[in-house]
Chain A
Amino acid sequence: MRYLPLTPADRAEMLAAIGATSIDELFADVPATARRAGLVDLPLAQGEIEVERALSKMAAKNIAAGSVPFFIGGGAYRHHVPAAVDHLIQRGEFLTSYTPYQPELAQGTLQALFEFQTQVALLTGMEVANASLYDGATACAEAMAMAHRITRRGKAVLSGGLHPHYREVCATYAQFSGLEVEALDPSPGIVEKIDLDNETACVVVQNPDFFGELRDWSALAARCHQQGALLIVAVTEIVSLGAVKPPGAMGADIVAAEGQGIGNALNFGGPYVGLFAAREQHVRQIPGRLAGQTTDTDGRRGWVLTLSTREQHIRREKATSNICTNSGLCALAFAIHLALLGETGLTRLARLNHAAACNLADRLAAVPGVRLVTGSFFNEFALRLPIPAAEAVTVLAEKGVLGGVAASRLYPERDDLADLLLVAATEMVTQQNIDSYSDALAEILR
C-alpha cells in the first residue's frame, strides 16, 4: 500500500522490539466479541489509476457550472478564483500543517490569519474579526448565542429576509440552548415591521437580503441600541461589500458572513468559510480562534493564538463555543484572493457584478409575463414568473441553462412564493449567456 512505509521486515523487527508475538497482542484490550478476524465488507485497495477513473466517472455525471449558462446564487456564488490562490493554498506547509498551537512553528499560518482578520474587519466595517467559523449559517447561529451572552436576554428576532438555511440553523441551535426564536415571515419587496421588547437579545437581518434587496439597517440599529438589543447583520455574498455600505457603517454589533465568494469554489456547498466580526468591546465573547500580535523573547514582532480562555480546550463547558477545527485553509484562500484583488480589484469586481446583474435584470424583466420584484440589488434579484418557478428551473435545466433558485425549494410551504425565482449574475456571466437565458425563458413562457 503506497501510503504505508513499514516493510514486512520492519513490522517483524518492531514487534520483536516490543516483545509481542503478533499484532493481535496489541489489540488484546478489545473485547473478544468485538474483534474482527477478517476484513470489513469493502473493496480491496486500489491504485491511483483506478481511484481516479472511478471518481472521475462520478464527477462526469454532474453538470459543472462552468459548462453551461449559469445564474444560481442563493448564498453561494460562482466567482473567478485566480490560479495563484489554489497554487498557494496547496503548498504543503499550509495544506498539511495543524492548528497553530506551537506558534514558533506556525508563524506563517498565524500571520496569514492576522491579515485575514484585518481584511474581514475592514470589509465589514467592524473593529475586530476572528480566524473563521465553519460557514455563514453557523456564524449566524454563533452570533445569536453571543448576543444572548452579552445581553443576558432570551429572545432572538430573525428577519424574513434572512437566508432560510441561516434561519433554520439558528432555530436548531436555539431549540437546544433554550433561546426563543421569533422568525418573521419572508416578504420579498416589502419592508417588514420588526418589533423589539426588553427581552430581545438581538435582531438578525441580512444585506442584501435573501431576495436580493438592499436595505439600510441604520435606523433599526438605533432602535436596537435604544432597547438594549444587538443588531446582527448577515452577509451571504461577501463580494457585495466591494460596492455596498458595510454593516459596520450601519451600526451593526456583530457581522456573520459567508466568505465563500472570495477565494473559494462552489464545492457543492462546502467547505466554505464563516466570517465573524464584532465590536472590540465584545472581544472576550467572540467564538472561535483569534490570532494576535505579540513579541518574542528577542523583542521581534510575531503572532500567537490569543484569548484562548474563551475556548473549549481551556474553558471546557464554560467556553464561548464548542468550535475547534474551523475553516483555516478556506480563510487562507480568502486572504490570498483579497490580497490579489486589493482595493482597486475588489471594487471593480463588485461593479462588474452589479453591471452584469443590471443587464440581466433588464433582459429578463423584458420577457413577457416576467416581473422584477427586487427594487435595489447587488448581483442577485427576484422575479415573479407566470408559472411555478420550480417548473421553470427544471425546464431551463433541460435546455442547458441553470437559471436560478426557485424560492419554493427553500420555502415549499409558502404558496405565495411559488412563482418566485432568484437569479444571480457574477463577473463570470457573458453576454452570450444572458442572451441564451432570456431566449430560453421567453421560449418556456411563450
Chain B
Amino acid sequence: MTCAHIVDVALRKVSGVESVEVSLNKGLAIVKLKPGNTVSVPQLWELLHQKGYTPKATSVLVRGDLVNFEGRPQLSVSGTEETLELVSDPKNASAYGDVSKKVGQTVVVQGVMMPAKDFKIRVPLQVIQVK
C-alpha cells in the first residue's frame, strides 16, 4: 500500500469529505467537502499526523460570516463552533483591506493556514482573496 493510498483512504473516511485527490509529485492532498460539513482544518492535520505524516501549509476555501471581534476581523464558522482569526498576507495586503469593508456579510475567503506544533492551538487564516 502506497503512502498516497494511505492518505487517500484516511481522508475519505472523514465524515463530510466529498472527494480526495492525492498528488505524490506535489506532496499535496486536495480535499473537497460536502455542503453542511463540520470538518475543520486542524481535524485533517491531526488525522495526517496520526498516520505518520507532517502537515504543512494548507490552502483553504472557507465560507462564513465576517464579524468584528475586539476590533479584529474574524470569520465565524458556526458549523464547527470555530471562529477563524483573519490576518493579512503580506503578498495580498489589498485582500485584507476588503475584509473590513465586508464585515457583516457572508463571504468565501481563500487563504492559507499554517499548522502549529500543537494542532489544538488556534491558528489564523492568512487572507489571499475575499469573494
Interaction A to B: no
